[in-house]
Amino acid sequence: MIQQMIRRLFGKKDRLSQPVHKKKQPTPVEKAKHHIDPQLISKNAIKVTKTLQDAGYLAYIVGGAVRDLLLGITPKDFDVATNATPDQVHQLFKRSRIIGKRFQIVHVTFYSSSSTTQRQEIIEVSTFRALLEESGEHIAQSGRILRDNVWGSQAEDAARRDFTINAMYYDPASERVLDYHHGMADIKNKLLRMIGDPTQRYREDPVRMLRVVRFAAKTQFEIEPKSLEPIASLAHLIHDVPSARLFDEMLKLLVSGHAWSSLCTLRDVGLDQGLLPMLDAILEKDSQTSFAKLALDRTDQRVQEGKTISPGFLFAALLWEQVYTEWQLLMQTGKPIVLALHQAIDLVLANQREVFAIQRRFETDMHEIWSLQPRFEKRIGKMPYRLIEAPRFRAGFDFLCLRCEAKQLPMELAQWWEKFQITTPDEQAELLLQVKNESPVNLSSNANKSRRRRRRGPKHQASDEKLLDVEQSP
């Protein structure tokens, strides 16, 4: 703080805050050249820019939304940049709130209702950021930016953005794009290029290394060699990123619609080793690769078809092989099926939390999906009837289908449950009778059992059924 006051008094400037950035002029691109379709733009984003402009502020749609519009893709969300401060933005919109500590932004919320549902859209509004000094209270020794609530000009804000294709500003009123760093040319050349010195920019925010992978997979653009070269040597900086932020970025990568391609690119650029335990396992072991790839391919397909996806289901699929391996090892020590499964789940989740904490609500979903798996294999008595009434039955059944497709279980098991949940009570009774008369199949819960078990009477059978009918919350 004292050093900053001295710099202000004596006019000492750091090279990162030289006036050249403030004076840099953008290249205006008219509609005849950029061909952005206004029908692809959120009406709420236009409303936010108009409200800010009517109040006397500059306001533009920015970032990935402009990039996608230029590529003819409907953006999933819209960001707006302005010279209004967060407090000034907050005063203009009733349904808004200021969030963030490292960098304050404003979320402006809009609701639209249909005959059946109410849809919520959040427009994220940020203030133009200034270029920071290389040393000072805002920068860590590693180079990572700690706090970023320093406002600047639009030119500085453009220089602070990560990639050239994300540093363009679109004004819906004039339908003009402002291009500061030749982003239009890079889009035409299908090139991902970091603004400024890549090593310094990755040190400022290591998450940018994950972002370049995600963008490369999504756009099929080539990463500029100069922007690619430092990643392998700086990969360790990912561990300095707060766990919650790392989770958010990895979730974006996995639900981008190009998840498997993104994971392979992580390996190609040197970001896979030690980044996440589950990724190490997925990319190194053939058995895990087949199951994980199947799950990610299904996720990508749903995203590209515009269908909803469950992050909890996705992470359950990615971590399943580790859970399954631990489960089998614990059963070989003589532990009961359900107890062994729950201990395996606890162990895998604990290991995962050490470097990458999955949000608790998703962990709950994962736990419930995994806990249902042995119940699918016990088609006796009243258990199937109770199982189809379980809150997470559908997710558990979809997971079972994945396991059958990956040849972890016989496909007949998934087919049996498909019939059981849609047939009449008489037909369900017939299906249960068929199971009783069939020869035992080699299922996952007894595949590794080497010791013979004594025949148990009706009393003990009822106890086993009660034990398998576990609670669905951890």
Q: Which residues are catalytic?
A: 77, 79, 162
Distance of CA 207 to the CA centre of its chain: 13
Question: Under DSSP, is residue 377 helix (H, G, I), strand (E, B) or coil?
Answer: coil
User: Cα–Cα distance between 403 and 373 in angstroms, integer?
Assistant: 10
462 in Cβ contact with 454 (< 8 Å): no
Q: Which two tokens stand for residue 420?
A: 């059981």
- Which among 410, 455, 454, 417 has a CA at the least distance from the CA of 434? 417
Does residue 155 contact residue 21 with C-beta atoms inside 8 Å?
Answer: yes
Query: Could you give the CA distance from residue 8 to residue 429 in angstroms, rounded to a whole number?
Result: 83
φ/ψ region of 261 (left if φ > 0, alpha if ψ in -120 to 50, else beta) reads alpha
CA-to-CA distance for 255 and 307, rounded, in angstroms?
Answer: 11
Distance, CA of 348 to chain centre: 20
Q: Where are the alpha helices (DSSP H) in 41-153?
A: 43-54, 64-70, 86-92
Residue 394 to residue 401: CA distance in whole angstroms: 11
Residues 250-276, buried b or exposed e (16+ Cβ, 10 A)?
bbebbbbbbbbbbbbbbbebebbeebb
Q: Work out the widest C-alpha separation in the chain, in whole angstroms.
A: 91
Contact 162, 168 (CB under 8 A): no
Q: Which residues contact 273 (CB under 8 A, 6 or more apart)?
A: 235, 280
Residue pair 95/110 in contact by the 8 Å Cβ criterion: yes
Cα–Cα distance, 17 to 2 (Å, whole number) = 18
Nearest to 14 by CA among 147, 135, 150, 157: 135
Three-point CA angle 325, 276, 253, nearest 5°: 115
* Strands, E assignment, 167-323: 168-171, 176-179, 191-192, 222-223
Give CA–CA dist 259/245, Å, rounded.
Answer: 18
